[in-house]
């Protein structure tokens, strides 16, 4: 997944994605190399995001229960 694609999906400038990815990588939460994102610490990443993530995830899990990874 490229930074360009992420920026289009979120409706933000690519530079903003670059900056965010750099900060998350520096914090040890992700690794980002040539279009590949690896989560290193999901719990810490979830703790850093706004409360809207939990609201969206709860609704996603409710609507699409069969797609939840175990």
CA dist., res. 52 & res. 2, Å (int): 24
Give the tokens for residue 6. Answer: 């992420």
How many C-beta neighbours within 10 Å does residue 61 have? 11
The helix (run of H) or strand (run of E) holding residue 8 is helix 3-10
Question: In CATH, which of 1.10.10, 2.60.40, 1.10.3470, 3.40.50 is domain 3-67?
Answer: 1.10.10
User: Could you read off the pLDDT tens digit of each residue along the chain, which spans 70 residues?
Assistant: 888 899 999 999 999 999 999 999 999 999 988 888 899 999 999 888 888 888 988 998 999 887 665 5
Q: Where are the domains of the chain?
A: 3-67
Single pTM value for the model: 0.70
CB 39 within 8 A of CB 21: no
CA dist., res. 39 & res. 28, Å (int): 9
């Amino acid at each position: 997944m490229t930074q360009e694609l992420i920026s289009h999906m979120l409706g933000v400038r690519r530079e903003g994605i670059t900056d965010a990815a750099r900060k998350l990588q520096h914090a040890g939460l992700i690794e980002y190399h040539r279009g590949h994102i690896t989560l290193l610490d999901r719990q810490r990443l979830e703790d850093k995001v706004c409360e809207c993530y939990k609201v969206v995830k709860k609704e996603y899990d409710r609507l699409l229960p069969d797609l939840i990874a175990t």
